[in-house]
């Protein structure tokens, strides 16, 4: 879509005004919405995230000067719409997400999923492992998301990476959390998380180390392995992403997050998700625009990798 001829606000309601999946014969990257938020433990509303991020993506342009790549020109990217899933039954919804994502990945090179709450990362990782083998998992978040259960429920937005570890979906010596901060339930949260194979770079570490050193630490940890990036928008400080379900003070700036992502150019990014955008708590599209730009950087990394 040429925004100099068709106003962005008048274009199709797809991510970055891209073609729909059924409008192209091949697809290197499918962008898919997963409007599911029944795994949230505080504010609901991330089910409306995919539509809001698509709206926030209307200002994206073809050339990414930070990565020196045209994310939509170097590869065929298409919007695959939303995965319909049961809002009343978490297990059934997770199964539906896995089935639909597997079908999409059957005729697309890679997936970029827009959530939805972080529960969706678990079925997406299951599909990614079947296609690419175990991945190095780099998880940007304020929270560990490796707790055992919430209220006895094994699948929630606070438990996806515990379940992923149990299933052997990621490489435990090559995976890490970025941006962790805020109170925990107990000191054992950290020791249990380390036992699952994660290394942590906290939000305060990001401030001390700087963008380049954090990106270098990720590159060293990931090595030559296929990479999956899971990005909870609450890794950003509430000043930069107020529209989310579980905000925590002291987070990253949007500039820091985008800079770290750009520092990963050349790694083999095989899949990604951007989750926990809850537009009801947003204002002036602050969160949705930030999330759209994160997606844009991810597509740029896919084009380069």
Q: Which domains does the chain have, with CATH numbers?
A: 8-304 (3.40.800.10)
Task: Give percent of the chain above pLDDT 70.
Answer: 99
Confidence of residue 2 (pLDDT cuts 50, 70, 90): low
| Dist. CA 82–CA 184, nearest whole Å | 34
pLDDT (average), residues 114-118 = 97
pLDDT (average), residues 227-248 = 98
Q: Which of 187, 182, 185 is closest to 202 using CA atoms?
A: 182
Confidence of residue 153 (pLDDT cuts 50, 70, 90): confident
Q: How many CA atoms are closer than 13 Å to the CA of 223, on its beta-carbon side?
A: 9
Going 272 to 156 to 49 to 189, the CA torsion angle's sign is negative
Strands 175-180 and 198-202: parallel
| Dist. CA 111–CA 109, nearest whole Å | 7
pLDDT (average), residues 265-293 = 98
Q: Each residue of 168-208: pLDDT tens digit? A: 999 999 999 999 999 999 999 999 999 999 999 999 999 99
In 10 A of CB 263, how many CB atoms?
Answer: 18
Task: Outline where the chain has alpha helix (H).
Answer: 49-56, 90-106, 121-132, 160-166, 188-195, 203-209, 211-222, 254-262, 286-304
Q: Each residue of 24-70: pLDDT tens digit? A: 999 999 999 999 999 999 999 999 999 999 999 999 999 999 999 99
Confidence of residue 97 (pLDDT cuts 50, 70, 90): very high
Q: Which of 34, 164, 31 is closest to 97 using CA atoms?
A: 34
Contacts of 204 (CB under 8 A, 6+ apart): 181, 250
The pLDDT assigned to 149 comes to: 87
């Amino acid at each position: 879509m040429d925004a100099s001829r068709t106003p962005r606000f008048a274009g199709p309601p797809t991510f970055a005004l891209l073609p729909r999946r059924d409008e192209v014969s091949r697809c290197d990257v499918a962008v898919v919405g997963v409007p599911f938020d029944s795994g949230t433990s505080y504010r609901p509303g991330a089910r409306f995230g995919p539509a809001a991020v698509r709206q926030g993506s209307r200002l994206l342009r073809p050339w990414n000067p930070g990565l020196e790549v045209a994310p939509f020109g170097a590869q065929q990217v298409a919007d695959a719409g939303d995965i319909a899933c049961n809002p009343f039954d978490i297990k059934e919804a997770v199964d539906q997400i896995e089935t639909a994502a597997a079908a999409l990945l059957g005729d697309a090179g890679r997936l970029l999923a827009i959530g939805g709450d972080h529960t969706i990362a678990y079925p997406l990782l299951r599909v990614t492992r079947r296609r690419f083998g175990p991945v190095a998992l780099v998880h940007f978040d304020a929270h560990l998301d490796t707790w055992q259960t919430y209220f006895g429920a094994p699948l929630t937005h606070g438990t996806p990476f515990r379940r992923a570890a149990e299933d052997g979906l990621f490489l435990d010596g090559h995976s890490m959390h970025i941006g962790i901060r805020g109170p925990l339930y107990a000191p054992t949260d950290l020791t249990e998380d380390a036992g699952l194979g994660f290394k942590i770079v906290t939000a305060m570490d990001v401030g001390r180390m700087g963008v380049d050193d954090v990106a270098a630490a990720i590159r060293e940890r990931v090595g030559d392995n296929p990479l999956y990036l899971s990005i909870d928008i609450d890794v950003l400080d509430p000043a930069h992403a107020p529209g989310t379900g579980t905000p925590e003070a002291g987070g990253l700036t949007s500039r820091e997050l985008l800079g770290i992502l750009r520092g990963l150019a050349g790694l083999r990014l095989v899949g990604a998700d951007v989750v926990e955008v809850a537009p009801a708590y947003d204002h002036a599209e602050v969160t949705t625009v930030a999330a759209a730009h994160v997606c844009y950087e991810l597509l740029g990394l896919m084009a380069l990798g």
